[in-house]
Structure 1
Amino acid sequence: MTKSKLDSRVAILMCTYNGASYLQEQLDSIRAQKYENWHLYVSDDGSQDSTLDILGNFKSRTGRLCIFQGPKSGFCQNFLSLICDNSIKADYYALSDQDDIWYEDKLLRAVTALSGISCETPALYCSRTKLVDERNNETGLSPLFKRTPGFRNALVQNIGSGNTMVFNHAARRLMLEVGSGINPVVHDWFLYMVISGCGGVVIYDLGPSLRYRQHTANLIGANTGFIARFKRFGLMLFGMHRRWNTHNIEALSGLREKLTPGNRFIYDEFSRFRSASLWSRLIGLYRTRLYRQTLGGNITLWLAALFKCF
């Protein structure tokens, strides 16, 4: 990388809530990053364990931490409060959970990938993850997605785990425009929709960039395996996917005019045909060419259209 690229400032946005059990390992992995021009911003949602003590110690040792009081409205709103805090300014923004372990080249890989894109073009980097248990024993990898990222995919599926996401300032400007008062299902899925929908670039790294800890306190897990897929199918039949799509469509409405003309057509069509007659739903799905990443996922998508579950 050139010196100018190494000088790019990265704001790491971390949300915490009673994370003392694993937080120190995550902070140590951030401190060990090969890419050194970072500053950590933490929004704590009212921790009652030693989370704030651990953060205070890290701040005193590094001088590279700002702590905010979270909105106490759930993890999605907590992340949005950081993403949309205009007092935080950087060239790139990296999302961080409180309990993972970053590879030492995580930020370097992300900035290297994003630095080849014009600073005026919204851009998002995300990657696969190495799955580990509570004791940091490896249990597998997150799913491998091979189809090209895009808005047609983003409307019906999130391929990027938020703890791997890094995005540039052009993408951040879009989030500032829509603001933190929205109510999408999750912040990372919404980022994927916004950036792909508004003509941005989405980079999906086939190699893992962190160790994603799976434990009983996880708010969102890796969603791998047959049992997870079966549960998601059940959620679809009981209308959960339909409610999710309603939330996402409403959240995205504030940026409708920023969508590319082709993506605005897809957005409008999806908003319309998901509540239309059976024939209109099937025709609409065919015309918009919405897709998920796997054959099974696409079969489920067509079943959702058949049973009016999206």
Structure 2
Amino acid sequence: MISVCIATYNGEKYLKEQLDSIIPQLTAQDELIISDDGSKDTTMEIIKRYAANDSRIKVYKGPGKGVIANFEFAINQTQGEFIFLADQDDVWLPEKVQTNLDFFKAHPKIDLIISDLVIVNEQLDVIEPSYFEYRNVKLGFFHNIVKNKYIGAGMAFRSRLKARILPIPAKVPMHDMWIGLIAAYRNKSALIPKELTLYRRHNNNASEINTKASFYQQLKWRLAISFVLFKRIFFNS
């Protein structure tokens, strides 16, 4: 059984396309967790239409505290052995779920995998054919504290990782950075160098590919996440 988590907020423009790419990949036992953080547009109307015809879709009112808390809440609701994170504005390619599950089956000691993505524009035209190549994505704990390359839109992880990543500290820059580093510390993560997601970039994305934050702000983020990481690792070891 897998659980797919989508954290929505004012996602009416692209949400239907994303749902249509995910739902056909789910089995009858799987679940799609949608946590909406108080959308003011027609996002909830779209979600309710889908949920009315599909019992696998479970809809929740999010905590209303931003994208990190919304994903944390969604992850908390999951029942599946494997958890996939999904952005509301992307498109999954048809082989995404099965490719991830095959990898997990072949590598039982791996807790988290990140598959490659195609960076596209609003119309799904290709901007960069490989996120991994564009961002020079590499595994490694200290490497990704200094220059984080972990991306939630390509993440899937085993449910046993939940006990280590939850709760997500409020001071971390982004949920995917935290999840990736927790798995990386014990060398339990891996990359799938195959593009399985169309990663859509537009004017209203909740995250940036290349941050515009100042060096000082980035330094503060690194210090903050280093502190909470070592605190979590020390007390959970």
Q: What TM-score results when the alignment is normalised by the length of structure 1?
A: 0.70
SS where residue 173 of structure 2 aligns? coil
1:83-138 alpha-carbon deviations (Å, 9 max, x no partner) = 2x2x42211100011010000111111111112233xx461111221111112222
2:82 to 89, 92, 112: 92
3-state DSSP class of the match of 1:20? coil
Could you tell me how far 1:148 is from its partner in structure 2?
5.1
* Cα displacement string for residues 159-199 of structure 1 (whole angstroms, at most 9, x for unaligned residues): 221111000022122123xx2454211000111111111x1
Tell me, yes or no, if the aligned pair for 1:20 and 1:54 is still in contact at 8 Å: yes
- Which of 117, 125, 139 matches 1:149? 139
Question: What secondary structure is seen at the aligned counterpart in 2 of 1:203?
Answer: strand
Equivalent position SS for 1:139: strand
Amino acid at match of 1:246: L
Q: State the partner residue of 1:172.
A: 162
Higher strand share goes to which structure?
2
Pick one of 108, 118, 131 that aligns with 1:130. 118
Work out the CA distance in 2 between the residues paired with 1:90 and 1:221. Answer: 29
- Compared CA separation, residues 68 and 122, structure 1 to 2 (3 A): farther
- Larger helix proportion of the pair: 1
CA distance in 2, matches of 1:187, 1:111: 22
Match of 1:159 among 142, 149, 155: 149
Match of 1:189 among 177, 182, 194: 177
Aligned to 1:78: 70
Q: Find the partner of 1:247 among 220, 224, 228.
A: 224
What residue in structure 2 maps to residue 109 of structure 1? Answer: 99
Equivalent pair of 2:114/2:155 in contact (CA under 8 Å): yes
Q: Which moved more, 1:137-146 or 1:187-196?
A: 137-146
Q: Secondary structure of 1:107's match?
A: helix
Q: How does 1:4-15 map to 2 (within 5 A)?
A: 9-15=1-7
Secondary structure in 2 aligned to 1:72? Answer: coil
Q: 1:22 to 1:109 in 2, by over 3 A?
A: same
Residues 254, 212 of structure 1: CA spacing in aligned structure 2 closer, same or farther, 3 A cutoff? same
Greater relative contact order, per chain length (Cα 8 Å cut-off, separation 6+): 2
Equivalent of 2:192 in 169, 190, 205: 205
Matching residue of 1:24? 16
Change (3 A) 1:201 1:72: same
Using a 3 Å threshold, how does the CA distance of structure 1 residues 44 and 140 change in structure 2: closer, same or farther? same
State the superposition RMSD in angstroms.
2.2
Secondary structure at the counterpart of residue 32 of structure 1: helix
Q: Which residue of 1 aligns with 2:60?
A: 68
Assess if the C-alpha contact under 8 Å between 1:35 and 1:107 holds in 2: no
After the TM superposition, which segments of 4 or more aligned residues of structure 1 sit over 4 Å from their partners? 34-37, 145-148
Where does the alignment leave 5 or more consecutive residues of structure 1 unmatched? 1-8, 261-310
Partner of 2:25, secondary structure, is: coil
Q: Percent identity?
A: 25
Please report how far the alpha carbon of residue 216 of structure 1 lies from its aligned counterpart in structure 2 after TM superposition. 0.4
- Could you say if the C-alpha distance between residues 18 and 153 of structure 1 is closer, same or farther in structure 2, counting changes exceeding 3 Å? same
Larger Rg: 1
Name the SS for the 2:197 alignment partner: strand
Q: Which runs of 5+ in 2 are unaligned?
A: none
